[in-house]
Amino acid sequence: MTEASSPESLEDEHRRIAGIDSPDLLSEARRLDAADPLAHHLNSFADAPGVTAYLDGNSLGRPLRDLPEKVGAFIRDDWGTRLIRSWDEQWMELPMMLGDRIAEVALGAAAGQTVVADSTSVLLYKLMRAAVTARPGRDEIVIEAGNFPTDRFIAAGVAKEAGATLRWVQPDAVTGVTVDDVAAVVSQRTALVVLSHVDYRSGALADMPAITRVVQDAGALMMWDLCHSVGVVPMQLDEWGVDIAVGCTYKYLNGGPGSPPSRTCAPSTTAPSCSPSTVGGVRLTSSRWARSMRRSPASVSCSAAPRR
Ligand SMILES: Cc1ncc(COP(=O)(O)O)c(C=O)c1O
């Protein structure tokens, strides 16, 4: 008679999924902390009495310790004394300057391709709309059934406007979307595929380079939502040939409540239909149009004064 195997405990399940062999999770956590190349930044953040571990980010990273001083200097000097001169002296360039900095530090994208502006939802809408327009004759938008609700609602709206159909990917809820899941649904009808790099519920990490390749092999454009990965998961958008990416700055980039997101678009997505007023200052270094657009304040839309 064979012995029935005992059910896996929740802790064992987490350990298995995370690939942690050590039976002692506390020691393993301490070992990982000691090896963390970012650990020395811990003291840069403001103290939050009573908070031992901030594990529920819920759309808000922690503020930096020197933020009150920086915000004070902005009000006192840049705004208070320089007044409208600050537009020309620094503010007008900030969306591109901050975009390039985020691209360098967190996205693996060369300068001139990333802009900080609008809100995540507004950018998702603009870029989905432009992407579908850039693939005439194709009438499907592929999106994961468990993607963040905002992304699904916006994709549904864009599909309705553009006369396209939504095609759903139904991945495993724990392991997340795979290359095979995507390969099974893309076709000559696919204009655009919209996926999250990190699943907001399970934390599953999608294989960005492999999925992007499968989508592009089908002739479609790939858009990644980086909200839950930018600033916390290393990525190489240029090397992986990503067409379009949108990510917020208020989670792991600690931009504060309401801070505007960033968008990055590959030079290959330069379509005549991606007009400046539709797409805004996306990454298009190789085009003359893009360079002139980056100089033109009218093409940069910011809902609030850019932050420092
Ligand atoms: C993955 C993802 N996509 C889109 C959004 C929408 O962002 P916003 O409400 O700032 O436009 C969020 C917000 O939390 C998000 O987490």
83: left (phi over 0), alpha (psi -120 to 50) or beta: left
CA of 7 to the centre of ligand 1 (A): 37
Domains of the chain: 25-89 (no CATH), 95-299 (3.40.640.10)
Report helix, strand or coil for 45.
Answer: strand
CB 230 within 8 A of CB 254: no
From the CB of 273, is ligand 1 less than 6 Å away? no
* pLDDT tier, 283 (very low <50, low <70, confident <90, very high otherwise): very low
* pLDDT tier, 54 (very low <50, low <70, confident <90, very high otherwise): confident
CB 214 within 8 A of CB 158: no
CA of 1 to the centre of ligand 1 (A): 54
pLDDT at 266: 85
- Bridge-based pairing of strands 221-225 and 190-196 is parallel
* pLDDT tier, 15 (very low <50, low <70, confident <90, very high otherwise): confident
Give the phi and the psi of residue 51 in degrees, each rounded to 5.
-95, 115
pLDDT at 12: 79
Give the phi and the psi of residue 176 in degrees, each rounded to 5.
80, -175
Indicate the residue type of 308: R
CA distance linking residue 304 with residue 252, whole number of Å: 21
Roughly what angle, to the nearest 10 degrees, separates helices 120-133 and 149-162? 40
Q: How far is CA 237 from CA 78, 95, 143, 254, in A?
A: 34, 19, 20, 21
Minimal-distance CA residue to ligand 1 atom 16:
227
From the CB of 259, is ligand 1 less than 6 Å away? no
Residue 34 has pLDDT above 70, yes or no: yes
The answer to which of 2-16, 160-174, 293-307 has the lowest mean pLDDT is 293-307
- Tell me which of 126, 248, 249, 253 to substitute to probe ligand 1's pocket, judged by most ligand atoms within 8 Å of the beta carbon: 248
Mean pLDDT of 8-13: 76
Residue 297 or 233, more confident = 233
CA distance linking residue 256 with residue 80, whole number of Å: 22
CA distance linking residue 47 with residue 24, whole number of Å: 29
* pLDDT tier, 13 (very low <50, low <70, confident <90, very high otherwise): confident
CA distance linking residue 285 with residue 117, whole number of Å: 18
Mean pLDDT of 204-218: 98
Minimal-distance CA residue to ligand 1 atom 13:
59
From the CB of 286, is ligand 1 less than 6 Å away? no
Q: Model confidence over 247-259: pLDDT tens digits?
A: 999 999 999 999 9
Q: What is the DSSP letter of 252?
A: T
pLDDT at 274: 41
CB 173 within 8 A of CB 146: yes
- Bridge-based pairing of strands 244-247 and 262-265 is antiparallel
Residue 175 has pLDDT above 80, yes or no: yes
Other beta carbons within 10 Å of 103: 23
CB 226 within 8 A of CB 197: yes
From the CB of 120, is ligand 1 less than 6 Å away? yes
pLDDT at 276: 36
- Predicted TM-score (pTM) of the model is 0.83
pLDDT at 296: 29
CB 235 within 8 A of CB 211: no
**Average per-residue pLDDT in the chain?**
85
From the CB of 200, is ligand 1 less than 6 Å away? yes
CA nearest 265: which of 286, 242, 294, 231? Answer: 242
* pLDDT tier, 268 (very low <50, low <70, confident <90, very high otherwise): low
- Bridge-based pairing of strands 140-144 and 190-196 is parallel
Residue 40 has pLDDT above 80, yes or no: yes
Residue 307 has pLDDT above 90, yes or no: no
